[in-house]
């Protein structure tokens, strides 16, 4: 598996994993169902639209959502309604903006649609870890700090500022970035000091003038 993992997953739980599939293409859903079923993963339902997905998730409460082509709004709504469910995004696009939006929406895994080990990835995220393709990781880490606004900020501080500028509360920022609320508060204090501002409103104005704060979807 040529992916970036956050932990050793050689001893994943043998507990049977449940999943819901979502994609607007029936053939894609059929293919994903076959792959997961062959690997012993129970597919509880399929969905072709955002509303269908939300309904099935609330009905079944699966371990993992395996999503293909879904809108940013759907990703956001699902992560807000079901924060305890792991999300694996299987997408053909691995550009920086798409990956960043997926991270902000709270996904636990991001793989290309051609990945040959999607079932294994489902088990990884079900176990509580995250998994991203090498290309997706490169799309993020390949960005130069000097090429973005506020190069004095660390990468994490920049991510926090971006989400704050989008109007998200500290608690939501913490959940999106998988940080403790206190850590987010500390980052914000550092951001204020480095930008030379005294309050959140001024920091948001500065950030939005620099192009940050786009709706994270």
Instruction: Determine the topology of domain 145-209 in CATH.
Output: Arc Repressor Mutant, subunit A (1.10.10)
pLDDT at 201: 94
Write down the CATH number for the domain with range 3-141: 3.40.50.2300
pLDDT in tens, 170-198: 999 999 888 899 999 999 998 998 888 88
pTM > 0.95: yes or no: no
How large is the average pLDDT for residues 14-43? Answer: 90
What does residue 40 show for φ and ψ, rounded to 5 degrees?
A: 85, 15
Task: Compute the C-alpha angle 20/74/95, nearest 5°.
Answer: 95
pLDDT in tens, 199-213: 999 999 999 988 898
How far apart, in Å, do the first and last CA atoms of the chain sit?
Answer: 29
pLDDT at 142: 58
CATH 1.10.10.10 domain position(s) in the chain: 145-209
pLDDT at 1: 42
Confirm if 29 and 53 have CB atoms less than 8 A apart. Answer: no
Which tokens is 45 given? 């339902």
Confirm if 52 and 74 have CB atoms less than 8 A apart. Answer: no
**pLDDT above 50: residue 11:** no
Compare 101 and 210 and report the one with higher pLDDT. 210
């Amino acid at each position: 598996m040529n992916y970036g993992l956050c932990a050793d997953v050689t001893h994943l739980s043998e507990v049977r994993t449940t999943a819901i599939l979502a994609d607007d293409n029936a053939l894609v859903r059929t293919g994903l169902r076959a792959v997961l079923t062959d690997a012993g993963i129970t597919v509880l339902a399929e969905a072709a639209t955002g509303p269908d997905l939300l309904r099935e998730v609330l009905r079944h409460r699966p371990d993992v959502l395996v999503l293909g082509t879904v809108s940013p709004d759907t990703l956001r709504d699902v992560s807000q309604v079901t924060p305890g469910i792991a999300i694996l995004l299987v997408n053909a696009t691995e550009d920086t903006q798409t990956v960043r939006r997926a991270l902000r929406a709270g996904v636990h895994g991001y793989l290309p649609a051609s990945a040959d080990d999607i079932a294994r990835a489902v088990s990884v995220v079900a176990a509580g870890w995250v998994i991203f393709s090498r290309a997706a990781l490169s799309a993020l880490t390949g960005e130069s700090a000097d090429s973005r606004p506020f190069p004095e900020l660390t990468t994490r501080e920049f991510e926090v500022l971006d989400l704050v500028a989008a109007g998200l509360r500290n608690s939501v920022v913490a959940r999106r970035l998988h940080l403790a609320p206190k850590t987010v508060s500390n980052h914000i204090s550092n951001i204020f000091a480095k930008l030379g501002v005294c309050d959140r409103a001024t920091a948001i104005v500065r950030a939005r003038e620099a192009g940050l704060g786009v709706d994270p979807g």
